Amino acid sequence: MAIQSAAGNLLAILMLAPGSALTVVYWARWAGILMGSDFEGISVTEHLSGGIRIPLMILLASAVALSISAPFIYSKMIYPGFAGEDAFSTALGVMSNAAGSFIVIPLFLIAMGVFMFALFRSAPEKENPLSKPYMSGISGKKNGTYIGPMNQVTGIVQSNYYLSAFFGEQKLSKTMNIAASMLIVLMLGVSLV
């Protein structure tokens, strides 16, 4: 949506497209680490391959460069686009003009509140023991096992767990065996005719 709205400005597209691609690399890497790690409380320095390290370094450098150059980008690229428009009017923290409106101050206050809450909640706690993340579905060390609910090693079982009174193994096995036997006899009878 941002690229569509900036379609008339080539420089904005040239900043948004690589930034979006590099951000996807970053978040995909983060999700992979989160889903594939078994955290035991010991922090190990990770050595990244060039295919991951280079996009992350480019993303970091471009974030720093764009943060520093934001006032210049605004004054040279964004502000001239609004020069013909009416100036922004503000009422109760909402900036608005003919192009639209944006609730700057309330969103900023909400963002600061969420940040302070996250900062408060992420403070280290000494009383609680370290708990592992939920890793259900990861293969266990012994063949035929996996890490099940409650981080317990569970054996692999193939079964039907829903509506067992109607579709359970005990109910369906006999019926399906009779139906399969009748189908085999029918196929043999048709083939002999």
* pLDDT given for residue 145 in this prediction: 82
Q: Which residues contact 102 (CB under 8 A, 6 or more apart)?
A: 94, 95, 96
Q: Is residue 40 part of a domain?
A: yes
pLDDT of residue 189: 87
Q: What is the pLDDT of residue 154?
A: 81
Residues 175 and 110 in one domain: no
Report residues of the chain scoring pLDDT below 70.
Answer: 1-9, 35-45, 81-90, 92-95, 97-104, 125-136, 159-161
Model pLDDT, residue 102: 65
Same-domain check for residues 8 and 71:
yes
User: Minimal CA–CA distance to 55: which of 28, 74, 76?
Assistant: 28
pLDDT at 46: 72
User: pTM value?
Assistant: 0.30
Give me the domain span that covers residue 72: 1-84
Residue-level pLDDT at 121: 82
Token pair 């969103």 in the structure block, residue: 107
Give the pair of three-digit tokens for residue 103.
């609730």
Please tell me the total count of domains within the chain: 3
